[in-house]
Amino acid sequence: MGRIITPRRGKEFAKDYNAIRLEDSESVNQAKLESWIAKELGSELATLYPNREWGVTVDVLGGMAVIQCTDVSRFMGYHVGLNDTIEVLRQKMKRIGGEILERGNMTRGHTTEEKVEATPRTFKDEVKNLDNG
């Protein structure tokens, strides 16, 4: 039979390396804020335009977010300033997401993988109807 291992007096039995450690450093707080903004904007895009691959990158210090639809392009994105509240930014996502899809000659409606895969693409796997011909 196996032994039961118990912690010694005052010693920690096991350390959970997956637990979130709350730190008060500025860089950690900045990363948490960027993650939260990206999650809010990305979930809004996923709700408005489902079955699309959306990506949101946020730079709080630069005051900018980059919105991408990798179904259209993995290299180009829509840059939006972070001067507004999160509610205003969520409202802007409908226009921004729609514009990205229209530039890629894709519908704003529901889609299936077959339609996305059938779209003519360049060697970089971008939709051909963008500025690349």
CA dist list (Å): 84 to 17, 72, 78, 95: 36, 26, 16, 15
pTM: 0.68
Residue 88's H or E segment, with its range, is helix 86-103
pLDDT at 114: 41
| Strand, helix or coil for residue 100 | helix
Note down pLDDT in tens along the chain; length 133 residues. 455 555 566 566 566 666 656 666 788 888 888 999 999 999 999 999 988 889 999 999 999 999 999 888 888 899 999 999 999 999 999 999 999 998 887 777 765 554 555 566 665 666 666 554 4
Q: Report CA Rg, the chain.
A: 21
CATH of 26-118, one of 3.30.160, 3.10.105, 3.30.70, 1.10.357: 3.30.160
